[in-house]
Amino acid sequence: MTPANSDPGTLLRAAWDDMIQSLQAARDALDQPELMPAPATERNLAEGYRYLAGYLHSAIERAFHDDPQRPQFRNALSVITRGTIDNADAIYFYAPLDGRNSYLISGRMGDNRHWRGEPPAPGVPRAPHYLIFEASSGGLTGDTGDLGELRPGVKSQTGRLDSSAMQVEADGTFEILLAPERPAGYRGNFIATLKMVDKPHPTDPDLGPARYASYISGRQLFNDWEHEEAIHFDIVQLGAEGSQPPPYTVECAARQIRQMGEIVRGQLHFWNAFWTIPMGTYGERSGSLPGVAFPRNAFNRINAASGATGGGMSTNL
Distance CA 178, CA 194 (A): 10
How many CA atoms does the CB half-sphere of 43 hold within 13 Å? 0
Banded model confidence at residue 293, pLDDT cuts 50, 70, 90 = low
**What is the pLDDT at residue 253?**
98
**pLDDT tens, residue by residue, 130-157:** 999 999 999 999 999 999 999 999 999 9
Sequence letter at residue 228: E
pLDDT higher at 253 or 76: 253
Distance CA 68, CA 235 (A): 10
Q: What value does the mean pLDDT take over residues 81-89?
A: 85
pLDDT of amino acid 153: 92
The pLDDT confidence band at residue 298, using thresholds 50, 70 and 90, is low
- What is the 3-class SS of 109-171, one letter each residue? CCECHHHHCCCCCCCCCECCCEEEEEEEECCCCCCCCCHHHHCCCCCEEEEEEECCCCCCCCC
Q: pTM (2 decimals)?
A: 0.90
pLDDT at 157: 95
What percent of the chain has pLDDT above 70? 88
pLDDT for 297 beyond 60:
no
Distance CA 128, CA 93 (A): 14
pLDDT of 217 strictly over 60: yes
Predicted confidence (pLDDT) at residue 305 exceeds the cutoff of 90: no
Give the separation between CA 111 and CA 113, rounded to whole angstroms.
6
Distance CA 260, CA 23 (A): 9
Q: Give the pLDDT confidence score for residue 282 in this predicted structure.
A: 82
pLDDT above 60 for 74: yes
How far apart CA 40 and CA 288 sit, in angstroms, is 15
Which amino acid is it at 279? M
Half-sphere exposure of 33 (CA within 13 A, CB side): 7
Which residue ranges does the chain devote to CATH 2.60.120? 68-244+297-317
Q: What is the tens place of the pLDDT at every residue in 235-264?
A: 999 999 999 999 999 999 999 999 999 999
pLDDT, average across residues 73-92: 88
Please provide the distance, in angstroms rounded to a whole number, between the alpha carbons at the two ends of the chain. Answer: 49
The stretch 169-182 carries a mean pLDDT of 98
pLDDT score recorded for residue 304: 63
**Architecture of the domain spanning 68-244+297-317:** Sandwich (2.60)
Nearest to 79, CA basis, from 53, 59, 101: 53
- Residue 15, pLDDT score: 98
Q: How many CA atoms lie within 13 A of 31 on its CB side?
A: 12
Return the higher-pLDDT residue of 275 and 285.
Answer: 275
Task: Supply the pLDDT for residue 111.
Answer: 97
Closest listed residue to residue 193, CA positions, set 278, 310, 71: 71
